[in-house]
Each structure stands twice: as structure tokens, then as C-alpha cells.
A and B are shown apart, each in its own frame.
Chain A
């Protein structure tokens, strides 16, 4: 029998005021990845609500080698949070996910399985296919999402069904390569990452995920987000 290579997975979770959710998400990750070698890297941007205290409590419980706290002084943005987390990642693969429980750790095994089966460079979660889904969006929100998706598909041919999703697994070297060429902020950053990866010819696979919108805390989608999105689309259209 061929010896199975054991891979290590670094899970980077950027946080800002996720005092309640961070403990829940760490519990769920440990629950669903029992036989997997992994580490959780919490990149907290100086949360005033005491998120880091909770992380320290989690470190006492699970070990500082499994739960890493790599904080920053203040809110510095998502892209740089990933780069910061990457510097401390010792895994062969890097998972990025949100701390607000919209991304459920129970899908982590399916990401890992898909990657092992296909040897993909990137496995991205998609909410828009059968087996996936969204809960907690009203009709307007769904309409905006669908419209935005159709527009992006028509203009960019991105090669994935869910462009703004941020639940992804990357080969570490691939993430390092793609992230170095991305300059956008916020969720446009997520779009830029996957579009640049497609342009560079990386093998990308998708797995269905379900997305339950913000259990604790407030979600944001207003006119300014829509404008940002359109500007992002034009930027990606012209520069990728």
C-alpha cells in the first residue's frame, strides 16, 4: 500500500469584533477536522470588544500550536490580514474563511477531499449551485446578488460560479503568488484573487457550501457597496 502523504492545513481567520463567534468557530473546526493536521491563525485587528482575550482562552484549551494569535494594532484590511497570516502559516495548504459563522467548518472536509481528488490549486466554495445555498437574504438581496453575478460572468468569464465568496482553500504557494498581484480592498479583493488565479491558469475546483447570513452582528450591503462592486468590475475588466 502506498504511503499516504499527510498534509497540514493552515486556517486563516481575520477577525474584528468577533468575541462571540471566534470561540464557536474554533470549536466547530476542531469538531469537523478530527483526523487532520491543522492550525488556526487568528488575525485580529485590535478588536475593542476583547476578541483577543477569548483567543487566549482558546489557546489555553487547545494549545498554542493549534490556535495561533497573530494580531495587528488596528483595522488594516482583509488583503493585508491574509498576507500577515500567511507569514505565520506552516501548512502545505491555506484555508481562508470568515469568523462570523456564515462559513460553516463542516465543509472543510469536502474542500480537502476535493483538492486531494483533483490536485487543484484552489478549491472555492460556491453558494450558487445545487447542494449549496443561502439563508437570511430577502428578495432584494438575492436580486442584487444574482444581477451582480450575471454581470460579472458576462464581463469577466471568471471560471467560477461564486465570485465574491471568501471560503477558499489554496495551495500555499499559489496563494502567495496570487495575493502578491492583488491590490483591491474588501470583497472586490476576493473577486480579484479568483479572477487573477483564473488568468494565471491555475486549476480551480468548486464545492457547494451553504451560507447563513450573520447570526450575531450586522451585515452590510448598501448603495456604496454596489458602487464599489461596479468600480471593481471595471477595474478587473481592464487590468486582468
Chain B
């Protein structure tokens, strides 16, 4: 039996088309079952996307609250600055380098700061405060503008802004004087008299009790740290948990004697808490996927049993097992892809709605969150990789379940009885 190469090629093309046609039509064969199976896949993905987006969104929210505005997502500091945060380990100002860093499209903002500790006193009262020297650009940014509880952001020299609770503790209001004493750069004595220009809402009661803000040049003069920065606070453009641009930025913008530290490195306990919680979420999804997986397997077993005689007949006719298997594989792929696409789209829409109108917590939990300085909302993560990852997972599960009918194809004998 000699069949020409052309005939073989035609046969292969025909077979591929036939497999596609059969797969497509088989989907419509038991419409209700296809619909239910597709809907199950869609629902599972919908649920997974919402669950995971909310969970990761809460972490983002948490991280944003804890590090976003204060210590920063990424800090560039002298290699010895962390963890002592000693004023002596400061960086020399490098405006050219800072310009370049700010020009990086992955960088949203980069602000230099000088930071240290001082004893603040007003009359009989005193308290230890962490003073932060903010650059004028940073103070002018909407974030700090919005934090003003009273007073104003004036450019007048000697101005001081106090955390709301610290002001209460010192019993001072706008216009009052505060004396600051502390250790300056390299063991020098630091002293100044500042005038309260405003008080600040910092979201977190702890921060409000111990923070004082002055202008960067004021801070440098106070500490005798002329031309020095403690660190540069960097906010990357992408702040999803799954992304840590620290290493990349460090490679692109090296600064002698300095290193880049992500919040993940500076606050290992925060990342550990997130990871522990995230594992819980993963387990829930795992259970969901196991349930869906067995459901799909049941459907696949039914499908295989129903078609066994048909498989035998097709094999007897001379259809190759590979093509027959391909037919089943394509059918399951189409079905799961349809489910995944619809579930993914619906999940994405739901996430966008939740982003627009975030779930707001009520009662004790909300109160506890507010105490911690977090707005009591559950904003979802908008990271599209969540949808893509879980769509991929569910399609793979469906294809694994398809192993059953594929096995049937390879086990079925063309013998008819």
C-alpha cells in the first residue's frame, strides 16, 4: 500500500479539521452538561479571583498604611544605617543621582529625608520625639497636605509640625514655641527653638504620639548635618505585593556607600504575617479547586463511558487514536477556556466594582483597624496576574481531568460486539 506524500498531508489536514469540528459539535451535544460544566469552571474562577484580589488587596492596603508614607516602600541609605537608624550613618547629598532616580519610569516619587531623635519640651511638659526633616517637595505633596489637622504648611523658618497626640501631650497649639534638645551629627549637641505651625493626622496613634516634622534644611541645621540625608524614601510605580523592584532599582541607580532596602527586608515580621495569612487563603482555594477538580473528573468519566462505543466505531473506521484523543482534548480545552474566560471577565468586573466601591468594615473589626491607623476598608488588588494565574490553574485542572477520557481513547479496542 503506497500512498503519496500529498495524500498523507491532505489526510493530516483533514484530520485536524475533523478533530476541531467534532470537538466543537460535541460541546453542543449535551448542551446542559456543557453549560453546567462551563458555569462551574466560571464560578470557581470568579470566586477565586475575588477572594484572592481582596486578600492581596488588604495586604497592599496594610503595607501602604504601615510603610507607604512613613518609612517608605524602598529606602536608600548608608549601608550601616539599618537597623540602628543612627544619624551618623548618613548619605552625602547627591542631587544629580536623585534626579536620575526620579526620572526612572518605575519610580513614582523619591524624597530625601534627615531623621533623628530629640527631647521636645514646652513649659513643664516634655516628650521624646522622632523628628523628620522633609524636603519642601515632599511636604507639598498631596499626602502631607491632607494630613494637616490644624495650622498650615508655611515656609517660615523655624516651623514645626507635631503629631496630633504629641501636641496634645505637650499642650501646645499653633503659634506656641517648643524647645528641642538632642544629639546631633557625630556626637555634637543639637538644640533649637521651633514654633508650632500645625498638627498632623498620621493615621496611626503611635506615630501621632512621637512624630515631629520640620523642613529638611531646618533639620540639617539642627543636627549640624549640613549636606547630609539619612535616607531617600522611594515609592515605586508598581506597589503590588508580587513585585519587588528594589533589586532592579539598586542595579540601575548605584550610589557609593549606599544600599536599597525594600520594606520586605526592613520589616520581616510584616511579610511573615502576610505570608501566614496568605497561606490560609491558598488553602481555601486549594479546597475549592479539589472540589471543582473532582466534579470535572466525574463529568469526564461520564463523557468517556457514553462515548466508548463511538470511539470503538471511529477506530474501526480507521481514525487514528491520536486524532481521536485530540478531539477529546480540544473539546475539554474549549469548554474550560470558555468557562475560564467568562469567569475571568466576571471576576475582573467584580474586582473593578469593588475597587470603585470598596467593602467597608463595620463594628469591632473596623474600630480595631482604625486604632491601628488603617482605613477600615477592603480594597481589592487590581493585579491582573491574579486572574491570569487562576484561569491557568483551572484550565490545567480541566485538562488533567481530561486524562480520563483520553485514557479511554487509548484503551478502547476497535473490536465490535
On whether the two chains bind one another, the answer is: no
